[in-house]
Structure 1
């Protein structure tokens, strides 16, 4: 499903900001590293919206290629860009002494136009940026994200809510590495599990829970290898998914459960207690934000699972 709604950019036929799509194209091509030779203007343009220059650097020489840019904004109608929308491409490219043609479209080229632009006998290069390619490029870099935020404020607000960045709280970025393979468990997105090994202390039938080990790791092989290392008589393991634990409500419930156990006399080894603090500190920047819709749905699902099966339901 597309992230950016190109209808947010005003049509070129109306309003005081009718050249917004051309300005967007200019800034987009600029962040790709192209030099803007001729920018958007008003009045007769002889079939060009912009002219940009690409510098190609080889081992022994530098080559400069100028591209004619044609912008077509048809997102509101949803119609494709047809050959009648792009007449005389060859003559336009030659008139402006360019070596390439860039079609910058908020929809797609029609099959007829695509055939025309893919013809092998064309004496110039062709690049097409359709809505999907533009969106993919914008979302792949910090500069692109800033540009998307400027021209697609509503779309960006929705996307940002569902793809929150960690809160900027501490000097260093939060980090958790698998205790077996040392792979990051927080990038590119949170994954893996938190594992605890506990025992019931046998000190004259007090029955107090004691946490001996706490660590985090990848699911699957890493978990199996670490389990074989820590498993021994009298210890029982339990786990939490990291991507569940960064849901704010789940995080708070986990802290409250830990505090309640401590109040009830549960104990921790020095190592397990230090690991608990490290875990809380590194997950907090990922928690201190609004829940995404997917996380709200996940919490509702967890609330339907009984606590003895790892959920939050049926207590009290």
Structure 2
């Protein structure tokens, strides 16, 4: 599924914003490192939308290459860019004193145009930025996302919401490493579990207060099993939460409120468990300082449908 909707950019044949796609091309090519020599304008342009310059650095010094840029905004019609839409490319390149051709398209080039451009490459270098290549370049950097926000704000906002990144709040990146193997658990896709060991009483003793003895995080499977052997003691019971769930804003708030309620009820924390809980909350906070995504909402609904005694949130 496409990340950006190029139809947010005004069509080229009507309205005051009909040159928006050419302006977008200018900003995009500037981001890619080209210097703009001739900007987009209205009126007869002799077959060019922009002229840009590329600086190539080699052993013998710098070489400057001028490129003719042709913009075709077919996203609204959905039609491919036809061969007839790019007539006399060689003449246009020479008329503007350029050494290469760049096609900047919001759709794909037709097979006829693609064949024509391959033939042109024998004489002049050609580059085609179609919607897929443009999108890939925009997604590859923060600068690209900022540019996409300017010209396609609605679809960019939707994409960012569903592809959250940790907020830059602290000097160091958030980090939770497995207590057993040292693997980083807070990456692009958070993994692993948080385990808490606490005291319990099998008797109906109203004066009994739970004490949280140990809190740690680890990989699921072998690492979890190894640590369970180490920490399991008579009088202790364990509980766990998926780190990927705690990285959801609503689940994070639920965890914070649960911790506050435990402290209010005078449940005790060993110094080790309390320090680990603070470390957990601090490192998860940059992950949740955002709007919940569609996947987050689906996961919350799923957790709410699972009984609490089976590890979910339901029936409380």
User: What is the TM-score normalised by the length of structure 2?
Assistant: 0.88
Deviation for aligned residue 1:74: 0.6
Structure 1 Cα separation of the partners of residues 264 and 39 of structure 2: 68
Q: 1:153 is matched with which residue?
A: 153
Q: 2:249 is matched with which residue?
A: 248
Matches within 5 A, 1:21-60: 21-60=21-60
Deviation for aligned residue 1:281: 2.3
Q: 1:302 is matched with which residue?
A: 303
Query: Deviations along 1:23-76, whole A, 9 cap, x unmatched?
Result: 110000001111111111222222111111111112342222211111000111
**2:200–2:237 CA contact under 8 A, matched in 1:** no
TM-aligned CA distance change 1:50 to 1:274, over 3 Å: same
Deviation for aligned residue 1:164: 3.8
Matches within 5 A, 1:282-293: 282-293=283-294
Look up the SS of the partner of 2:68 in the other structure. Answer: strand
Structure 2 Cα separation of the partners of residues 65 and 221 of structure 1: 57
Q: 2:96 is matched with which residue?
A: 96
RMSD, matched Cα: 2.7
Matches within 5 A, 1:191-206: 191-200=191-200
Deviation for aligned residue 1:307: 0.7
Q: 1:138 is matched with which residue?
A: 138
**1:81–1:110 CA contact under 8 A, matched in 2:** yes
TM-aligned CA distance change 1:65 to 1:222, over 3 Å: farther
TM-aligned CA distance change 1:314 to 1:81, over 3 Å: same
Segment drifting more, 267-276 vs 249-258: 249-258
The reply on whether 1:19 has 2:19 as its aligned counterpart is: yes
**1:67–1:101 CA contact under 8 A, matched in 2:** yes
Structure 1 Cα separation of the partners of residues 233 and 117 of structure 2: 69
Q: 1:276 is matched with which residue?
A: 277
Q: 1:186 is matched with which residue?
A: 186
Look up the SS of the partner of 2:177 in the other structure. Answer: coil
Query: Deviations along 1:64-99, whole A, 9 cap, x unmatched?
Result: 221111100011100000101111222222322322
Moved runs in structure 1, 4+ residues, more than 6 A? 201-206
Deviation for aligned residue 1:217: 3.0
Structure 2 Cα separation of the partners of residues 286 and 265 of structure 1: 29
Structure 1 Cα separation of the partners of residues 59 and 225 of structure 2: 50
Query: Deviations along 1:155-196, whole A, 9 cap, x unmatched?
Result: 222223323444565565544333345444333343332122
Structure 1 Cα separation of the partners of residues 288 and 16 of structure 2: 43
**2:90–2:120 CA contact under 8 A, matched in 1:** no
Instruction: Return 5+ residue gaps in structure 2 as ranges.
Output: none
Q: 1:61 is matched with which residue?
A: 61
Q: 2:78 is matched with which residue?
A: 78
TM-aligned CA distance change 1:23 to 1:204, over 3 Å: closer
**1:192–1:242 CA contact under 8 A, matched in 2:** yes
**1:201–1:210 CA contact under 8 A, matched in 2:** no
Structure 2 Cα separation of the partners of residues 253 and 17 of structure 1: 47
Segment drifting more, 146-155 vs 160-169: 160-169
Structure 1 Cα separation of the partners of residues 39 and 222 of structure 2: 56
Instruction: Return 5+ residue gaps in structure 1 as ranges.
Output: none
User: What is the TM-score normalised by the length of structure 1?
Assistant: 0.88
